[in-house]
Amino acid sequence: MRRASLKDVFIIMTSRIAMPLTVCALLALTSCGSSSDNAPQASNTGQSSSTSATSAPATSGLSVTDAWVKALPDLGEKAMTGAFGKIKNTTDHDITIVSATQNVSDTTELHEMVTKDGKQVMKPVEGGFTVKAGATLELKPYHDHIMIMKMTKSLPIGEKVTFTLVTKDGAKVEFTAPAKQFTAPQENYSPGTGTSSHAMSHSSSSTK
């Protein structure tokens, strides 16, 4: 038998060392490929979780119809006017309107009518307007209404005012009301204690 030469020994040792290195390299490539394939799936899962965590905006459950505002062509000394309409609750639970805003002035109040010293007086309502489940709240002169206060410009007939009502749970409902002519006695504004109110006498009135 021929003795192995130094060259033969070197070839055998090299092949034995190279084989494990080749196997390790293949395993490393397989592992990288597997991680690369799974990466987009992990990303999609994270995106899905983020989307499902985003809550939808609350809906008001209210609808407003027949809205109108008392026109104020001449601003005069009493820079205020009233807004009216019908607010329907389309849900099966009571909804309370706690505030309102509009684009004519910076001050808006929710008013009610009460009897004070034998007179019918309009004043800010405490706690807001509550619209019963499935019911309709009618805002009208000498009754519940929205008051636009501290006006800095006149409101001619035909001009539209945009309102936003805010409910107790933070939901909002927006509506637009045109300014109409309103024939009625002049409002007598008198500051109350802590809050403002304005006395109004009953008389025939009309809108056009």
Q: What Cα–Cα distance (Å) separates residue 108 from each residue in 15, 99, 134, 176, 207?
A: 90, 8, 26, 15, 22
C-alpha 187: how far from its chain's center? Answer: 33
What pLDDT, on the 0 to 100 scale, is given for residue 58? 56
Strands 206-207 and 182-183, how do they pair?
antiparallel
pLDDT for 14 equals 53
Q: Between 51 and 143, where is the model more confident?
A: 143
User: Measured between alpha carbons, how far is 186 from 78 in angstroms, rounded to an integer?
Assistant: 9
Identify whether the C-beta of residue 165 lies closer than 8 Å to the C-beta of residue 85. no
pLDDT of residue 183: 76
**CA–CA distance, 157 with 178 (Å, rounded to integer):** 8
Write out the two tokens for 16: 């034995």
Which amino acid does the sequence have at 186? Q
How far is the C-alpha of 188 from the C-alpha of 199, rounded, in Å? Answer: 5
pTM for this structure? 0.65
Measured torsion, CA atoms of residues 137, 140, 146, 149, in degrees rounded to the nearest 10: -170
pLDDT digits (tens, 9 = 90+) for 157-199: 999 999 999 999 999 999 999 999 987 665 544 444 334 444 4
DSSP sequence for 94-123: -EEEEEEEESS-SEEEEEEEEEETTEEEEE
**Minimal CA–CA distance to 180: which of 71, 49, 18, 54?**
71
Q: In sequence order, which ranges of 111-184 are alpha helices (DSSP H)?
A: none
Tell me what the pLDDT averaged over the chain comes to. 76
The residue among 13 and 105 whose pLDDT is bigger is 105
Higher pLDDT, 22 or 102: 102
